[in-house]
Amino acid sequence: MDETAKSFVRTLIVLCSLSAVQGIWVVPGHCPSDRPVEKNFNMTKYAGLWYEYLRPDDNYAFLGDCNTIFYTAHHNGTIGIRTFREFPENLGYEVDETFAVFTEPEQNPLEGRWNISYRWNDPFFANHWILETDYDNYSVTYFCREASPDTSFDDFFIYTRKSSPSAETRARIDKLLHRYYKSEYLFKQKQGGECHYTSEQSLTDSP
């Protein structure tokens, strides 16, 4: 399959999957403003490479498999984000670059509340909050954006520092699921030995 055909199929995956997401993950009401998040947030410690471990169901298949995300803290206060994803059926891979800003950058102590820009809705910003992290092993992130004047998308993602997290980290994640989400609705990402990571996923910086 040539690159043009692969690009066309990837586009179809995105469109079909976005339709599925809109049918399942839309919830009544606006995005909350009072959800507890990580306090005394340390962006320097949080920066670097993370592996997507759990995401909402498999209706996010358009995001690909073997996803990694690399955060870079910039001096101007923005957060560079580079996401790498593989597509099924040998459809290749994609590197997505965007950025985020702290919702309240002057807040003291700083909280893990970001507004993130997505390329398909630029310059729209969505909530991207770090609810809990130990910086070295796991991170629970919360995503929300308005779907309409009366509804919103509301989802959780869990990231790990290692592609194959330790038994201790997995046990910790199991406890977190009971606190934040219903685990039966989460889909375990392909990582570790199931993936063929490329040199682009080892980049030490993001835009």
CA dist 2 and 70 (Å) reads 29
The whole model's pTM is what? 0.76
89 CA to centre of own chain: 22
Burial class of 175 by CB neighbour count within 10 A (0 to 12, 13 to 18, 19+)? exposed
pLDDT, average across residues 130-147: 90
182, 48 contact by CB (below 8 A): no
Measuring CA to CA, which residue among 123, 127, 66 is closest to residue 94?
66
Q: Encode 176-200 in three state secondary structure.
A: HHHHHCCHHHEEECCCHHHCCCCHH
Percent of the chain with pLDDT strictly greater than 70 = 70
pLDDT at 134 over 90: yes
Angle at 185 between CA 39 and CA 95, to 5 degrees: 70
pLDDT at residue 17, as a whole number: 36
Query: pLDDT tier at 48 (50, 70, 90 boundaries)?
Result: very high
Query: pLDDT tier at 54 (50, 70, 90 boundaries)?
Result: confident
Q: Encode 111-131 in three state secondary structure.
A: CCEEEEECHHHCCCEEEEEEE
pLDDT at 18 over 50: no
pLDDT at 9 over 50: no
pLDDT at residue 8, as a whole number: 41
Q: What is the pLDDT of residues 149-168, one digit of tens each?
A: 888 877 788 899 998 899 99
Query: pLDDT tier at 47 (50, 70, 90 boundaries)?
Result: very high
Asked: is 3-29+36-202 a CATH 2.40.128.20 domain? The reply is yes
pLDDT at residue 4, as a whole number: 52
pLDDT, average across residues 140-153: 83
Domain positions in the chain are: 3-29+36-202
Query: Higher confidence at residue 123 or residue 22?
Result: 123
pLDDT, average across residues 48-54: 90
| CA Rg value for the chain | 17
Residue 186 tokens, joined: 């989460």
Q: What is the pLDDT of residues 93-125, one digit of tens each?
A: 778 888 899 989 988 999 999 988 866 555 667
pLDDT at 21 over 60: no
pLDDT at 130 over 50: yes
pLDDT, average across residues 163-185: 80
CA dist 200 and 166 (Å) reads 25
Mean pLDDT of the chain: 76
